[in-house]
Amino acid sequence: MDKNRIIVFDTTLRDGEQSPGCSMNTDEKIKIAFQLEKLGVDVIEAGFAAASPGDFDAVSQIAQSIKNSSICSLSRAIDNDIKQSGLAVQAAKLKRIHTFIATSPIHMKYKLKMNEAEVIKRAVHAVQYARTFVDDVEFSLEDAGRSDMSFMKEVMDAVIEAGASTINLPDTVGYRLPNELGAMVKELVAYANSRAIISVHNHNDLGLATANTLECVLNGARQIEVTLNGLGERAGNSALEEAVMAIKTRQDIFKGLYTGINTVEIYPSSRLIATITGVEPQQNKAIVGKNAFSHESGIHQDGMLKNKETYEIMRPEDVGVFKESTLILGKHSGRAAFRDKINNLGFDTVTDTELNAAFDRFKILADKKKEITDDDIRMLITDESLNQDQTYELIDLQISDCTNGFPMAAISIKHNGDILKDANIGSGTMDAIFKTIDRLTGFSGKLEDYKVTSVSEGKDALAKVITRVSFDEKSPSIVGHGLSIDTMLATAKAYLGAVNSYVSQKERLKPKNTHQI
């Protein structure tokens, strides 16, 4: 292993999914996994297989689909967790089990109610058992940031001896400052003495996650655990885009250290996550925020015109942020120009069916909207790929009387070849739409979140609606996506999209009865 190579372990699909409101279904996770593979991450932590049948399904589907990144599943140091992880990653070309137990005094005393000897025994057993499924086992000392140094060394000796090849040192509660973690990592890297790769996993509770990660790298950590857009439990994790670009941009400090990340895929990856989860990075978020490369003040703009390096330390193109291209599409543009445009926008894996459907929608849009921007086209393609499941297809929506009378929605839906029609009044137009869809489909959803954003500028801008809907207590809430010039039409599509995702997830998880009695 090259000592200058930093292994990028992406945990967007596991720790990132633990962000409130960020749960994703299997199809969405598979899409993200393909993008992570294209981004060049070394390890994809695809989930926590034992957490639910949905999580198991997602990890195993990803394991079957991805070829170039290693697929990892998280497990507590409990046999059943490890077994589920082992089974879920079984089909992967490259596979890893990640198991953990807390090592800090506070976690051992109050959470685990175990003493040090018991923790070591459990850790050793977990690693040995994980090794019966895979060769590559990572062990995490949860809350390492608040653990005792001499105990960590004992745990490390024991789990390395048991077969762990990566030792992860999470600052689980985001408590440490860079100099403290740097010193901790330095001592443990020297102690490991090349018997295992030292990894770090930093949380952002004090806004220091990336600073901590970088200091750990400078002190010998060779794996960084990160998420796109910095998603993750509470204040999130160290952001992949920040850590990777800092290493790349500050080679004067990181002297020859490098990652395998294809940085032009950073922005497309960030957009995909934001679109799927409905959680936008803050506008001033480093690298991927809307304002990350915009210059507002006159002095800055003047400097930029004279020499971009006056105010830009990275080229936007290097992280996949491209300025609006000059090839403008309109209603006379043909399929070839459309295909060319989407290839230039980086959608090189779009299938013919997706392309044709998006082209039809582009033509309808071009009739209504004068200028079709790159963002409009990006959104048409992404929306098409997120809404392929059309168990229930919206055919028609009519709404009336939103001012003084009873807001009403009349809706037609296609289901199994039949056209179903119904109408309902509601306390508002949206309420009327949701009630009518509930009655037509027979599913009663609880709306947990609703967001509407405009894709581009102008009164004729496309509206992008995201609904987060809960259908039953046992399953995580489901995100639906809707896109239209008409906000209410986008709303109906988004709600129906959530119903379709719910139905397909249920279908996928149904026990398959292969033996007829």
Furthest C-alpha separation in the chain:
79
10 binds ligand KIV (CB under 6 A): no
Considering only 10, 15, 136, 354, the residue that binds ligand KIV (CB under 6 A) is 15
100 binds, among ligand KIV, Zn ion, none (CB under 5 to 8 A by kind): ligand KIV
201 binds ligand KIV (CB under 6 A): yes
Identify which of 432, 451, 440 has the alpha carbon closest to the alpha carbon of residue 494.
451
Cα–Cα distance for residue pair 214/427, rounded to 1 Å: 52
CB of 498 to Zn ion, least distance (A): 28
Cα–Cα distance for residue pair 463/482, rounded to 1 Å: 8
Considering only 26, 99, 172, 429, the residue that binds ligand KIV (CB under 6 A) is 172
With beta carbons less than 8 A apart as the criterion, state whether 127 and 137 touch. yes
Cα–Cα distance for residue pair 90/84, rounded to 1 Å: 10
Which helix (H) or strand (E) element contains residue 344?
Answer: helix 335-344
170 binds ligand KIV (CB under 6 A): yes
Cα–Cα distance for residue pair 408/394, rounded to 1 Å: 17
CB of 474 to ligand KIV, least distance (A): 23
Which of the ranges 168-176, 338-346, 367-375, 478-486 carries the binding residues for ligand KIV, by CB under 6 A? Answer: 168-176
CB of 286 to ligand KIV, least distance (A): 21
Which helix (H) or strand (E) element contains residue 66?
Answer: none
CA-to-CA dists, residue 269 to 157, 210, 374, angstroms: 38, 19, 16
Cα–Cα distance for residue pair 30/58, rounded to 1 Å: 7
Which of the ranges 164-172, 186-194, 208-216, 473-481 carries the binding residues for ligand KIV, by CB under 6 A? Answer: 164-172
Nearer to Zn ion (CB atom), residue 169 or residue 394: 169
Nearer to ligand KIV (CB atom), residue 167 or residue 386: 167
SS3 assignment, position 347: coil
140 binds, among ligand KIV, Zn ion, none (CB under 5 to 8 A by kind): ligand KIV
140 binds ligand KIV (CB under 6 A): yes
Cα–Cα distance for residue pair 187/368, rounded to 1 Å: 64
434 binds ligand KIV (CB under 6 A): no
Considering only 9, 100, 471, 502, the residue that binds ligand KIV (CB under 6 A) is 100
Residues that bind Zn ion (CB under 5 A): 15
Residue ranges that bind ligand KIV, judged by CB under 6 A: 15, 100, 140, 142, 168, 170, 172, 201, 203
